[in-house]
Structure 1
Amino acid sequence: MTSIRPPTDHKPAQVVVIISNGPGELTTWVKPLVESLHNQLAMRPCEKFARISLRLVLVPCPNATGNEQKAAESWNKFETITSAKNFWNLIFNPKKYGFWPNQGVVVFLGGDQFWSVLLSARLKYKNITYAEWKARWPFWNDRIAAMSPQVKQLLPKKLKQRCVVVGDLMADLQKEAKNNNPLPKGKWIAILPGSKKAKLSVGIPFFLEVADHLLREVPFCNFIIPIAPTTSIKEIIYFSGLNNPISKQYNSKIKNIEQATGKLPWKKLITNQETKIYLIEEHPAHEFISQCDLALTTIGANTAELGALGTPMIVVVPTQHLHVMEAWDGLLGIIARLPILKWFLGLLIGLWRLRKRNYMAWPNISAKKMIVPERIGKINPIEIAIEAKGWLSSPKRLKGQKEDLRALRGEEGAITKMTEEIINLLEN
């Protein structure tokens, strides 16, 4: 039987191209915006013969894990996804990656803003950039969606009219994290070891040992690890084992993984000290993270995510594992790649932070003061366990940090406003 091809007028007339990079941006920015766009517009692939196609282009980024494409594919929201390794091929030969209509909009939602400008110029599409802190290529942006009025103030006077303040895209996370499934009573601690291999190789063995110590300090507390969409339980097991050299420096190991039993539908990680940690594989896990009394995390986009959810946290960077920090982002990664200076990493970070009053966790960066504790240096897991016990033993301190985090969030509705701006560019 001969297959019948749809007529040529079934080709999309317009394209919305999302530009993004790492796991944090995909989860907290891209996913909610994509869902909003599909709710407002008939778009492919959800509507097979719609006149608008929604596509994702991943861009080169040192913060990416390499699993972003697989995670995004699981949503079934994009007609095509172009991997980061094919970005330059797309620039040089767009036709190789499908039919591109004459009209479209490129939306920047993560990575280097230049990639968005470059792709929109190549495709001759309009460009809208979501700017958290600064619009770096304002003359090449048709529209700038700013997180705050401060972003607009930094623009040249003649370009301010291109900018609209939409607010914080993560401000809606708390609203979306409806507690339809309340956690059982007790103290709940979320462990976020990171999603990149370099962070997992440190975070898994370190935080497993913290959990073992903390359970002895605070009996009957409960732990969850939300499995990032760009990693897996298999990787968690790998980085806790002897194949990971860093794991050899810690006593805590994974004894086994148990299947879900009882009321909670999650697998359980059991350490060799009999500590139970629930593994949440559904994405996103905001509904459960937001109910936790405290989170233990490393630096990265997850600190912004926790802040948006109003979850108190302790941010931990154990700098004793310098040789794996070369793949980290920001100042840590830069210094760790320097053959001599990296051995003075702790001292350099201390001096840098004292002189510049800079911070590494997003809530602190945003507030320009210490909102959440940052523990950076040669840290022992038991130190973090004892500090966590102190926080858990002081509901007033936890409430205070939660209120500070909520005060940092912008008004809700940024996703809706961003959606409206994209639609306006498509229509005009």
Structure 2
Amino acid sequence: MEPIDILILSNGPGEVATWVRPVVRSLRQQFAAQARISLVLSPCPNATGREVAIAQTFPELDRIQGAAHFLPFLLTGKTAENWDWHDRGVVLFLGGDQFFSVVIGKRLGYRIVVYGEWETRWHRWVDRFGVMKPQLIDRAPAKYRDRLSVVGDLMAEVGVGCRDGIVEPVDRPVLVSASTVNQPQPPTTLIGLLPGSKAAKLTQGVPLALAIAQQIYAACPQVRFVLPVAPTLDLPTLAKFADPMFNPILADLPEGAADLAIADEQAYLKTASGLQVELVRQFPAYDTLAQCQFCLTTVGANTAELGSLAVPMIVLLPTYQLDAMRSWDGLPGLLARLPGAGKMFAKLINGWFLRRSRLLAWPNIWAGEAIVPELIGKLQPEQVALLAIDWLHHPEKLAAIRQRLRQVRGTPGAADQLVAIVTEVVAD
């Protein structure tokens, strides 16, 4: 067979982790050695700088170029390492600006396939679209609608191997009251902490998550806590956010202070009270997350991952520092990141955003209702812990949430259907 190139364009950590991963797996299964699969990243306001490191964990990829080299590639068609290209190929858009796929596809002479989550553009020049919902087809110009096909939600591909009872948590009774320590104890209850991966979220998220965990641990000493470490973080950097000498938020949340401890090759965040939060370095940590009774998490792609795994969650958006979040797209993001005045704009934008009534967690967005609680504001650890402890005392509430998450998480298969479109384009 004639060799082909499949060039994937993507950008942020969420797209790389939840879109690129399942698609490249399906591409490799479909094309085997016939295709050379390359990933080129474009700049993203949510980028952490380690998206390449995440992509390097995908064995299906043959070549990767980081966002720092994107503009020269867009303007000249040459990569930093001067990649060669086969005569036939496909540009596959999985995040960023859809216009980039048009420019690069036309320059290389390749067919163009775009995954459209919420919108589709440049219909005249794109060969095929795989879209999340039928409504996108209805909104497309009539003369180009035959180029659009519904493939489903790539977010629903998350943790497919961890589903359908393989490693999902069992709905078992959980005995948690400290007053019942002399009674027979159930298996260890696992709770996950997902404070984020970027400094803006970690600054508030790590102290708050640890402070809440302290409250739960005081009432339920047999509970075990795990914190999956993003591949964009090293352990010393993560630990700084629990260090009062580094993180000023701990002045308001002193119970969220902890030290990094390593024993027998296992790392922990250890508090003065003796609470140990196990740091999970396996990526992705779906097997561990699927065993959690529930998680405390910030907003973002992680809520989609937990929802897809049918893991209940309490979604936290603390506002101790209203100017901390500056990763908006478009004009708001540019204003929030301006030198000097950016702090003022960030406060105004975030204040406006928080006053709007909208759903933030992906499972709630999918369902159009609040399946899992979203807590916003200057959150008090004691109040959040009371909700968590109530869940532990009433496992039937967790079972009901888990069932609703299963209903709305979507059917896996979007990656395979998108790759089927790529296959048709290659054969055309």
Give the TM-score, by structure 2 length: 0.86
Give the direction of change, closer, same or farther, for the CA distance of 1:74–1:173 in structure 2 (3 Å limit).
closer
Deviation (angstroms), 1:415: 1.9
Query: Given residue 73 of structure 1, which amino acid in structure 2 is its aligned partner?
Result: Q
Instruction: Please give the alpha-carbon distance, in whole angstroms, between the structure 2 residues aligned to 1:405 and 1:220.
Output: 27
Q: Give the match's secondary structure for 1:326.
A: coil
Q: Deviations over 1:267-286 (max 9, x none)?
A: 33322221121211111111
Give the direction of change, closer, same or farther, for the CA distance of 1:65–1:341 in structure 2 (3 Å limit).
closer
Q: Structure 1 unaligned segments of length 5 or more: list them.
A: 1-9, 44-50
- Map 1:90-239 → 2, pairs under 5 A: 90-96=73-79, 97-177=82-162, 185-239=187-241
Deviation (angstroms), 1:103: 2.0
The aligned counterpart of 1:240 is 242
Give the direction of change, closer, same or farther, for the CA distance of 1:170–1:145 in structure 2 (3 Å limit).
same
Instruction: Please give the alpha-carbon distance, in whole angstroms, between the structure 2 residues aligned to 1:218 and 1:26.
Output: 37
The aligned counterpart of 1:41 is 31
Contact 1:22-1:61 within 8 A present in 2 as well: yes
The aligned counterpart of 1:270 is 270
Match status 1:53 vs 2:36 = yes
Q: Deviations over 1:278-303 (max 9, x none)?
A: 21111111122122111111111111
Give the direction of change, closer, same or farther, for the CA distance of 1:156–1:17 in structure 2 (3 Å limit).
same
Q: Structure 2 unaligned segments of length 5 or more: list them.
A: 170-185
Instruction: Please give the alpha-carbon distance, in whole angstroms, between the structure 2 residues aligned to 1:111 and 1:185.
Output: 44
Instruction: Please give the alpha-carbon distance, in whole angstroms, between the structure 2 residues aligned to 1:52 and 1:376.
Output: 46
Candidates 31, 36, 47, aligned match of 1:64: 47
Instruction: Please give the alpha-carbon distance, in whole angstroms, between the structure 2 residues aligned to 1:169 and 1:94.
Output: 29
Give the direction of change, closer, same or farther, for the CA distance of 1:57–1:350 in structure 2 (3 Å limit).
closer
Contact 2:129-2:148 within 8 A present in 1 as well: yes
Query: Given residue 253 of structure 2, which amino acid in structure 1 is its aligned partner?
Result: Y
The aligned counterpart of 1:393 is 393
Q: Give the match's secondary structure for 2:233.
A: coil
Greater mean deviation of Cα atoms: 322-331 or 13-22: 322-331
Instruction: Please give the alpha-carbon distance, in whole angstroms, between the structure 2 residues aligned to 1:41 and 1:347.
Output: 49
Instruction: Please give the alpha-carbon distance, in whole angstroms, between the structure 2 residues aligned to 1:139 and 1:182.
Output: 44
The aligned counterpart of 1:15 is 5
Instruction: Please give the alpha-carbon distance, in whole angstroms, between the structure 2 residues aligned to 1:333 and 1:214.
Output: 36
Q: Give the match's secondary structure for 1:225.
A: strand
Q: How many positions carry a matched residue from both structures?
A: 403
The aligned counterpart of 1:89 is 72
Contact 1:177-1:286 within 8 A present in 2 as well: yes
Q: Give the match's secondary structure for 2:19.
A: helix
Deviation (angstroms), 1:409: 2.3
Q: Deviations over 1:116-142 (max 9, x none)?
A: 333223323211111222223333321
Contact 1:322-1:336 within 8 A present in 2 as well: no
Query: Given residue 80 of structure 1, which amino acid in structure 2 is its aligned partner?
Result: R
Contact 1:191-1:224 within 8 A present in 2 as well: yes
Query: Given residue 89 of structure 1, which amino acid in structure 2 is its aligned partner?
Result: P
Contact 1:192-1:298 within 8 A present in 2 as well: yes
Contact 2:37-2:60 within 8 A present in 1 as well: yes
Q: Deviations over 1:247-274 (max 9, x none)?
A: 443223223423348xxxx533322221
Q: Give the match's secondary structure for 1:390.
A: helix
Give the TM-score, by structure 1 length: 0.86
Give the direction of change, closer, same or farther, for the CA distance of 1:334–1:199 in structure 2 (3 Å limit).
farther
The aligned counterpart of 2:172 is none
Candidates 258, 261, 264, aligned match of 1:257: 261
The aligned counterpart of 1:303 is 303
Deviation (angstroms), 1:336: 5.7
Instruction: Please give the alpha-carbon distance, in whole angstroms, between the structure 2 residues aligned to 1:268 and 1:340.
Output: 37
Instruction: Please give the alpha-carbon distance, in whole angstroms, between the structure 2 residues aligned to 1:77 and 1:63.
Output: 25
Query: Given residue 16 of structure 2, which amino acid in structure 1 is its aligned partner?
Result: L
What is the percent sequence identity of the aligned residues? 38
Match status 1:292 vs 2:292 = yes
Instruction: Please give the alpha-carbon distance, in whole angstroms, between the structure 2 residues aligned to 1:419 and 1:139.
Output: 21
Query: Given residue 240 of structure 1, which amino acid in structure 2 is its aligned partner?
Result: A
Contact 1:24-1:301 within 8 A present in 2 as well: yes
